[in-house]
Structure 1
Amino acid sequence: MDFDWTMALGSFLVAIIVGLTGMGGGALMTPMLVTFFGVSPLAAVSSDLVAAAVMKPVGSAVHYRQGTINMRLVGWLCAGSVPAAFSGVLLARALGHGDSVENVIGKAMGAALMIAAAGLVLRGYLAYRGRGGSAGDGDGSAEITIRPVPTVLIGVVGGLVVGITSVGSGSLIIVALLALYPALKANQLVGTDLLQAVPLVLAAAIGHLLFGDFRMEVTAALLAGSIPGVYLGSKISSRAPSTLIRRVLALVLVASSLKMFGVAAVPLAWTMVVLTAATAGAWLALRHRAAPRRDTLSSPVVSPGVAGASGEQSERGPTMAA
């Protein structure tokens, strides 16, 4: 087929989300190809992975220059994910089309993503209430302690899922990292996930080039939109406040979860509009409640009573000295 500019525009919008949050590529891009452009599932998975192998390095390069990547964590993740991703492609071919397997994995991922979104909201609320500390906000500056065995296992599971479905290089792994390393900064979480996804997606892409249904015209349209989109999203993510990234990440988690549960495009779009409006409303309400509290804390400094008391003390001072 000819070059599809609408497909390129769709990939541009999805790539902004990938660059901003480190996830959503497979969970959003592949369903977009199948739902809106009529691409067969296998061709969508193959073409999306090849495009992602080019797109991910662009986003991770931005985070690398900003210093928002934990290289030791990337190394342990790749130790498990790279061989598992290629094995996942072979497993998908051995299972045939694997519709039932993808369905089970999709439902399980949908539940995990929804739980992760709820966890992000709860941690943000606790941080606002002053009970979450810096770890709850994801802004702690302390160096995290790497746990090699569970980190490698995360890579293995994520790699297998990516090799079979193209979903998971961001969605599944970033959820597991959130649970295993809650003190990791939000922008470090995104940068680390983007960089570890480069060799992971490359291994899966090579497998699909050899055994899948790669279509050059689809990949070209995806690359035309995704490269500038992921660069823009990564630039915003590397400089944006952690709280903003967490809110966007929670919305993307919910969207990916609903898509995994098979929610159609139009209901999904309206659901996200409502959730976005509700998030903005809740943020404004919290700011409105916090404003009187700040005024109360600052009132003793500027209140006339205190000023008068200070004046009385200053007036007594010379008398006592005399």
Structure 2
Amino acid sequence: MGDLITPDTPGLLAVAFLIGIVVGLTGMGGGALMTPALIFLGIPPTAAVANDLVAAAVNKSVGAAVHYKHGSPNLKLAKWLILGSVPMAFAGAWIIAAVGEPEDQQAFLKKAIGFALLLTASTFTFRIYLEMRRGDYTDENRPDPAVKPIPTLIVGAIGGLLVGLTSVGSGSLIMISLLLLYPTLSARRLVGTDLVQAIPLVLSAAISHVLVTGMDWSILLPLIIGGSPGTFLGARLAAHISQSILRRGIAIVLTLTGLGLLKVPPVWVGIIGAAMLILGPVAWGLIKHAHGRRAFLHVPLGRRQGLQHHETVGAPPTDPGS
């Protein structure tokens, strides 16, 4: 028992709980937040990636089961994503091992995770923009678009490699690619397809990292024990907290964390963060206005609760740009 409870356990439980709240509030996967948080707690990057992937494999299974039960995923589309993602995700740990000595591996992973976080922040923001433009396709009787095997396979392969190396970015990268490839696929089926394909993807990456790096129960158990109640609490609070503020906050945190891992001077990180915090809402308001939407939309409480319920389960709201 002493091996499972370490001086890091309280910090791991607290971080897992807080990130679980964010996941419950926004429906966003926690990998982009959990892996860098573990690194900043002093966990070696290789161990952070391995244990985060195993915890993610457990947590994602629940959401995927719900969506599969309701028949929302496009299984043919998910099949082509899986064919591309699973082998590339499995290769991730072996690629890291081939980098060289453990010190070289840790340095390589920090840079890779830093770039992955910047990519995730960019695609996350672009996804919100695309959802604002496309609206929300909720007609479940709408016929699914024809599957494009080769482009879908490539999307799965790139997303799988990114997750296999860093545990970061699969949801944002794959979702934005699906929005571009299949703009008429309904929001519910987009989310369901992404969740279903994520299970074998994350399992493949987790297995390869466990084989190469091993699994540390003193890290893994706090991630699961702290994350589950946090996610439940976040889901309960979702109707009372502005999703637009949370989304902007996540994009800023991912960007600044990525810059920090890439060893950008703290002064520049602070300047970039201040610019994003002050100018970001203004720029977003101008973009919305250019597309014929109110720059700063006030949503009545009852309407906001309905929108945030959809976002909590993973579906984009009717007015994602709000």
TM-score (normalised: structure 2)? 0.68
Residue 273 of structure 1 deviates from its aligned partner by: 11
**1:27 aligned partner:** 32
Of the candidates 239, 249, 252, which is equivalent to residue 250 of structure 2?
252
**2:137 aligned partner:** 139
User: For residues 149 and 234 of structure 2, what CA distance do their matches in structure 1 show?
Assistant: 30
**2:184 aligned partner:** 183
Q: Describe the SS at the equivalent of 1:261.
A: helix
Extract unaligned runs of 5+ from structure 2.
289-293, 300-322
Higher mean alpha-carbon deviation, 179-188 vs 156-165, is at: 179-188
Question: CA separation of 1:73/1:106 partners in 2, compared to 1, >3 Å: closer, same or farther?
Answer: same
TM-score (normalised: structure 1)? 0.68
Query: Do the aligned residues in 2 keep the contact of 1:49 with 1:201 (CA within 8 Å)?
Result: yes
Question: CA separation of 1:259/1:171 partners in 2, compared to 1, >3 Å: closer, same or farther?
Answer: farther
Q: Point out the structure with the larger helix share.
A: 1
Question: CA separation of 1:103/1:113 partners in 2, compared to 1, >3 Å: closer, same or farther?
Answer: same
**2:16 aligned partner:** 11
**1:216 aligned partner:** 217
**2:120 aligned partner:** 113
Query: Do the aligned residues in 1 keep the contact of 2:51 with 2:216 (CA within 8 Å)?
Result: yes
User: For residues 164 and 25 of structure 2, what CA distance do their matches in structure 1 show?
Assistant: 23
Residue 106 of structure 1 deviates from its aligned partner by: 4.2
Question: CA separation of 1:288/1:28 partners in 2, compared to 1, >3 Å: closer, same or farther?
Answer: closer
Extract unaligned runs of 5+ from structure 1.
290-322
Query: Do the aligned residues in 2 keep the contact of 1:88 with 1:164 (CA within 8 Å)?
Result: yes
Q: What are the within-5 Å matches in structure 2 for residues 117-128 of structure 1?
A: 117-123=124-130
Q: Describe the SS at the equivalent of 2:254.
A: helix
User: For residues 182 and 252 of structure 1, what CA distance do their matches in structure 2 show?
Assistant: 25
**2:311 aligned partner:** none
**2:152 aligned partner:** 151
1:161 and 2:162 correspond: yes
Query: Do the aligned residues in 1 keep the contact of 2:116 with 2:166 (CA within 8 Å)?
Result: no
Structure with greater Cα Rg: 1
1:90 and 2:94 correspond: yes
Partner letter of residue 44 of structure 1? A
Q: Deviations over 1:137-184 (max 9, x none)?
A: 132533233211111111111111211111123233223223323334
Query: Do the aligned residues in 1 keep the contact of 2:137 with 2:185 (CA within 8 Å)?
Result: yes
Q: Describe the SS at the equivalent of 1:27.
A: helix
**1:293 aligned partner:** none
Residue 206 of structure 1 deviates from its aligned partner by: 1.0
1:203 and 2:210 correspond: no
User: For residues 140 and 246 of structure 1, what CA distance do their matches in structure 2 show?
Assistant: 21
Of the candidates 59, 66, 72, which is equivalent to residue 63 of structure 2?
59
User: For residues 17 and 67 of structure 1, what CA distance do their matches in structure 2 show?
Assistant: 26
Q: Deviations over 1:30-50 (max 9, x none)?
A: 111111x22111111111111
